[in-house]
């Protein structure tokens, strides 16, 4: 077998090695399983490692490669965030409530990945039910940032981001409700992409906030991100919000030439509270984009300042409705020691959910309650419409927006867990894309005191091609994506 450097290998490179028979899918998979065994004790990115499944998948992939019928992801070792159902494999949402839940069906994207014969290495840790920005809310384990294991990896897709950064998989799939792919990608120095709402099926994704949730890839490169999206995007009749649109060839549209490309810099994203090191890294990135021929100009999105408040009314409201199904009767954790049915119901939810999930359920129940619905939820929906309209207007004059992904680099474990407001502010730059339903991507754009900084691009609805174009051009003009954590 050819020697393979797992720290640098991408999907594109692995595809070439596999197709040229320089390495087999089984050999590649065994290498990743060995690496997981070596580094998991320090990182804890996986909730479940599916070694037997991975070896079986790899053998099937090798057979397909031998037949010459392989596709982009055939034989590529990957991970799924543990709120994405995969039949026969536990899907816990990192919660006591679903600790022993094994779904009898696949999420649509799990089916797509099986059809391509990709290799499942396991399921990634997350904040419980995807509610959090640091993965400290997981009821099962504490994931650490590979760049500094005393720091958080971000959240809620902290396990996937850490796994990709630590080269414990080639790519992972996460979910993004308010920045849960892009923010941990920024903190872990990898590429994290949230597609347009409805572009990727949510069938089989355990719901948090249904009008905001979207599945997307975490990868080592922009090209890999485009390759994965190509495989998972598309209409699904089982998801009522799925978009029936033609999927372009994202990879063939990648280019390093930004001449005439219009990039807007929204002034509202450079605010008090942003780390000086992060701000400098992003402003330096803007200069690189100008050097690539882009037409860069300042724009304004004044309603952005309301996005955080809107999100923390809409998301908890939808969460309180979605999580009502966990009653201890049909599946999941059930508190048996109770004198009455109602006591059992109350005890199940009290003991099955962690503090952050309970906080959001109560916030949502309050916002939806009689007498407050109009004042909170209805008003939040009206402001959401204004935010969406504002983005539509600005994209008439620019192709993409460029801004920071997170206001800071990775913070110390325990620093913000007891201050919900400070924790929520970590997503201040990512939430607007979810509110508006538009695509966003975070790519590595610097190091501050040895910790990664993420540059974020946003584009108009279904303008992923523009998003990848800007991200790829910047990536290829710099070396930040080649920096690896010192583990």
**Measured distance CA(476)–CA(360) in Å, rounded:** 41
Q: What is the pLDDT of residue 2?
A: 64
> What is the spatial distance between Cα 135 and Cα 133, in angstroms, rounded to a whole number?
6
159-209: per-residue pLDDT in tens? 999 999 999 999 999 999 999 999 999 999 999 999 999 999 999 999 999
**pTM higher than the cut 0.75:** yes
The predicted structure's pLDDT at residue 344: 85
Is residue 81 part of the annotated active site? The answer reads yes
User: What is the CB-side half-sphere exposure of residue 164 using CA atoms within 13 A?
Assistant: 36
Q: Where are the domains of the chain?
A: 1-487
What crossing angle do the helices spanning 307-322 and 379-394 adopt, rounded to 10°?
A: 120
Opening angle at CA 194, ends 73 and 393, nearest 5:
135
Q: How does the average pLDDT of the chain come out, rounded?
A: 96
> Which residues are CB-contacts of 336 (< 8 A; sequence separation ≥ 6)?
344
pLDDT band at 338; cut points 50, 70, 90 = confident
Long-range CB contacts for residues 369-376, cutoff 8 Å, separation at least 24 = 376/313, 376/317
**Selected catalytic residue, list 133, 134, 180, 281:** 180
User: What is the CB neighbour count within 10 angstroms for residue 41?
Assistant: 7
196: Cβ contacts below 8 Å, ≥ 6 apart: 214, 243, 437, 438, 439, 461, 462, 463, 464
Average of per-residue pLDDT across 222-239: 98
Q: State mean pLDDT over 297-325.
A: 95
Q: What is the pLDDT of residues 13-22, one digit of tens each?
A: 999 999 999 9
The mean per-residue pLDDT over the stretch 281-301 comes to: 97
Q: What are phi and psi of 383, to 5 degrees?
A: -70, -35
State the Cα–Cα distance between residues 468 and 463, nearest whole angstrom. Answer: 9
Residue 31: name the closest of 5, 53, 64, 8 by CA.
5
Given the residues 133, 138, 156, 172, the one annotated as active site: 156
- Whether domain 1-487 has CATH 3.90.1300.10: the reply is yes
Of the pLDDT bands very low, low, confident and very high (cuts 50, 70, 90), residue 313 is: very high
> Rounded mean pLDDT of 256-262?
95
* Burial of 262 per CB tally in 10 Å (0-12, 13-18, 19+): middle
pLDDT number for residue 3: 74
What pLDDT sits at residue 273?
82
Stretch 335-339: mean pLDDT, rounded? Answer: 82
pLDDT at 1: 55
pLDDT, tens digit (0-9, with 9 covering 90-100), for 82-139: 999 999 999 999 999 999 999 999 999 999 999 999 999 999 999 999 999 999 999 9
Q: Which residue in 218, 168, 213, 156 sits closest to 193, CA to CA?
A: 218
Of 151-165, 183-197, 320-334, 394-408, the one with minimum mean pLDDT is 320-334
Of 288 and 304, which is predicted with more confidence? 288
pLDDT > 90 in the chain, percent: 90
Over 354-396, what HEC string results? CHHHHHHHHHHHHHHCCCCCHHHHHHHHHHHHHHHHHHHHHCC
Please tell me the least confidently modeled range out of 53-62, 71-80, 343-352, 401-410: 343-352
pLDDT of residue 71: 97
Nearest Cα to 293, choosing from 258, 326, 241?
A: 258
pLDDT above 60 (res 375): yes
């Amino acid at each position: 077998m050819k020697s393979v450097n797992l720290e640098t290998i991408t999907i594109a490179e692995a595809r070439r090695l596999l197709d040229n028979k320089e390495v087999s899918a089984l050999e590649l998979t065994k290498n990743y399983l060995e690496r997981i065994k070596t580094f998991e004790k320090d990182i804890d990115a996986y909730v479940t490692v599916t070694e037997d499944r991975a070896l079986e998948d790899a053998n099937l992939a090798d057979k397909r490669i031998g037949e010459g019928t392989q596709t982009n992801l055939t034989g590529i070792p990957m991970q799924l965030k543990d709120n994405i159902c995969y039949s026969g494999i536990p899907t816990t949402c990192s919660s006591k409530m679903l600790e022993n839940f094994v779904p009898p069906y696949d999420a649509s994207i799990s089916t797509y990945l099986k059809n391509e014969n990709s290799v499942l290495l396991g399921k990634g840790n997350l904040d419980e039910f995807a509610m959090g920005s640091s993965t400290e809310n997981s009821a099962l384990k504490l994931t650490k940032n590979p760049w500094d294991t005393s720091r958080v990896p971000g959240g809620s897709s902290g396990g996937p981001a850490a796994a990709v950064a630590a080269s414990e998989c080639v790519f992972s799939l996460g979910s993004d409700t308010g920045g849960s792919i892009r923010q941990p990608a920024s903190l872990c120095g990898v590429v994290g992409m949230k597609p347009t709402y409805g572009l990727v099926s949510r069938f089989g994704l355990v719901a948090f906030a249904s009008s905001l949730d979207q599945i997307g890839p975490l990868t080592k490169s922009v090209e890999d991100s485009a390759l994965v999206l190509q495989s998972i995007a598309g209409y699904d009749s089982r998801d009522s919000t799925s978009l029936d649109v033609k999927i372009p060839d994202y990879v063939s549209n990648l280019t390093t030439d930004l001449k005439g490309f219009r990039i807007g810099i929204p002034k509202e994203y450079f605010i008090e509270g942003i780390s000086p090191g992060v701000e400098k890294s992003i402003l330096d990135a803007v200069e690189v984009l100008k050097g690539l021929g882009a037409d860069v100009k300042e724009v304004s999105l004044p309603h952005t300042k309301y996005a955080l408040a809107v999100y923390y009314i809409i998301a908890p409201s939808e969460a309180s409705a979605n999580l009502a199904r966990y009653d201890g009767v049909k599946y999941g954790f059930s508190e048996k020691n109770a004198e009455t049915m109602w006591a059992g119901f109350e005890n199940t939810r009290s003991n099955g959910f962690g503090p952050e999930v309970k906080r959001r359920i109560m916030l949502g129940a309050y916002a939806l309650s009689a007498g407050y619905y109009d004042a909170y939820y209805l008003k939040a929906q009206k402001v959401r419409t204004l935010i969406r309209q504002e983005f539509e207007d600005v994209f008439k004059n620019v192709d993409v927006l460029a801004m920071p992904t997170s206001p800071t680099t990775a913070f110390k474990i325990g620093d913000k867990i007891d201050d919900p407001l400070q924790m929520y502010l970590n997503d201040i730059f990512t939430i607007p894309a979810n509110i508006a339903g538009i695509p966003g991507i975070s790519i590595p754009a610097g190091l501050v005191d040895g910790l990664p900084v993420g540059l974020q691009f946003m584009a108009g609805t279904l303008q992923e091609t523009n998003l990848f174009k800007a991200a790829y051009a910047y990536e290829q003009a710099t070396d930040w994506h080649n920096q690896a954590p010192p583990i």
